[in-house]
Structure 1
């Protein structure tokens, strides 16, 4: 009888300690997530990290789950605690490998957390990469998908080197289906075209290549950035507008550039101290949360359906693919995108670029095409 009571007491004590630890883990995580980049909460977060880092392996999944909604600074603190706990668990052979793999395979989880879980798992499971990465060619995690694409690129190169061109072509095509990073796309496209494959990169990336454009409007002394010219009030393709150099009208323009670059300076005129407006329609079959990804060396503002989404008053900082990513919720049917591009009056050679590229993508980076009903036109007043 006494022995039974003793074991019951031990079980109760163990259960209480486990509950207390779980509570402490949750409390520590909550404290860490309150840290701010201005230094607010640093002291409390530092204390919480030290306490959290002493937890056993049962805290690993809760920490990974906590990445969702955490700011970048908090994620760094949480990552530090995770790595400390994981290191100790590996030494003790207590890493929860099955739970980590389940977390990695759950595409709804935070991409950075999934990557951290993967990097931890492969430290103890040499077969995990071959087992997991091939299935991630279209994964929402940019880094995991990049690994999957790179494996295929390497495989295709080996096949091509061995003279197996048809097989190499198929593998390159498979790699392209998941590639969104510019360097990998170039590494795929060049050999594919050599092998005779026609590739529409504008379609692959989701670039908008057909635009209506009007201008120039006055941007002398950079005053045009904050001046609301007529297109900001109403888009009317039938009316002539008062521009910087007289009346201006909307005109249709397009680009055949692989990466959707439209060069205003070369295609229209190298205007200085000027504002140009460009508009295009994007048709969505349903409400979608996507991203407008823009590259331009010029100051800009962008609207969708009359609502200003984002603006940046900065000139000549270079231009790269996906330089800016602006979240947007597209409504079903037609959505009108209006882009305002401002060029200043600098005369240096490096300050002459007046161009842009714009594409529609999922948060993962994969392109999304406009699905225009056949009975409508691409652009309408």
Structure 2
């Protein structure tokens, strides 16, 4: 009783939408008057009513729409939409009214759209009844709708229409028969006699019918249709479609045979179609079956299928691959199989692959090595570690090399054990593995081997491994400790020499002390190794002992100490400018030849500091160095003028007093003009900066570093600043200056001295993000990822009278890295009464 009341209430509510008060607009009446070009409100109202109605509430809507459809005053445009709505809410009740429109040239199409989705058999009967009543395009449309409905009762009529001389009607009838796809329809298609122009249409219809039959489980009938369509007399597209259909219709075993045969065949189109069908097939059992037949195929077919299986990791191909690997006598087949086994292989295949990898060198061994490196199934790493214990030396060596390349850290204890074992060949491989993936924890064992082994290859491998680990480790002084301990206990010269040669890779005060002590050793070999280590030392602290060595050594050794030691150190940008200048000053004092002094002048020209410029001026007083020193001084003065303008001018004037030729004096005059306003370009771009960085933080990318408070932002933060002068464009190319790198930050700072308090405009560009402080306060922040362009961001600021500190942070995610800042008046014009340049530091 409650459900009946609820139903009656719902119906009454629905009809309340239809029986609106007189003053309310009637959506159905509005719909009846609708014409194209008018307001679409009536359509929107009807669609809203239908959308909010449940299927049980459709009949009254249908009745109202049918009444409108019959009404003589309803516009044709409205009837088009009414047919569309009846396709949603209609039933058998609307069919007679809609069927009358099938013969109307203007309304036949919307009428068909209303009848096509209706489940009522009356809709199909209406379409069939209309066949003899229409011609041309209207007939073709009705035939098409019958095909869409897959109306099996229309097969006889359609078979007759397929014989019509009108090719459009015949082709449409053939297509409809294919869509109906019953056995009767298939027979009608099979018996159809068509002119040449319709042969492709007939073939397409047969393929469609076969597809429906196969989907209905009538695979044998479908296969009988597909096979003739694969003949060479058919168009390529038909043959391909037939082949794909046949693969799906055949029993699994027959489908496998078909695929294997086609892959090995000479018909390129069918071979490509077969591979396409195989790759796109969701039938895993079919794919597994084809893979299992791999060993029975001809070599050419094997090669083709191996290439496909390499990209099909879900296929169970391993067993077939192993058979081919065992049975094939062709190297190229074996290589392709190994490439494929890298995807499909398992832990159990590791010994077999290792055996092949350890065989005679050549493509097969290389392919096996690559397969071992790429194997990704569970247990592979454990199988490789187990293989380290093999009694076969070749297998052990392969396992060690593979573990190293795969960087399997769980293998480190085993590598250390083998490093200390009795088999020198295996120990060498273990050392190589430690060099690739070892950590500082393994340095003690490596150092012990370096110091004690009598095997030169093992000593060299262990030393190389120790150097590689020292390069990677962050705590280099700690890395030096086991090396120094082993050096103190080493008795034989070869071990001591190898350890001394390793110490430059750690650096540090204790290691440098050991090297300088060894320079005084009684053994000439030890002294020579220590000298070489000192010359290769990577830190500024080596400068003083190198200069002392050059001062007291024979001339030839002194030259090497200066050239490869002191001057190499001075060329390192990582060293502070003060350290570089100190080393170069020592070179001038110790060097006896002009060659080393002139190279020192060239290095000084690239050290951005006032002290370097002063040293160049002092060297210009030496007649033998004067021209080189003046040219270097001009270059450096131009470079640092934005930061050290007074020192640059003073130095240039001093150099001019020393210049012996008019050409040099002219170069100095040109430089003096250039440095007068070096801090800012005529267009307002800031050119003179102090730069700090790069700064990085573990686990932080460029975007995350934007909000990290790094030393330049910290009060009293310890930062080393160095001068940088941008070109006239203002672009500071940080990637070039700091030699690239990803996920890092650099800072630029300068000083703006304003004669008055005034408003100004900062125009900024950055790659990537940019944050700007003025007098300690953040005035702009944009955590962007973008290429740099001038004026990307603009911000008005207030300059205080006097000095204003400007700090800029620029983040780097990857790729190019740059920034630029332009200072303008608040209205965008040239700013007056300001001087730009870093404060002297």
TM-score bracket, shorter-length normalisation: 0.3 to 0.5
What is the TM-score with the length of structure 2 in the denominator? 0.21
Whichever of the two has the greater Rg, that structure is 2
TM-score calculated relative to the size of structure 1: 0.40
More contact order relative to length (CA 8 Å, sep ≥ 6): 1
Greater share of helix: 2
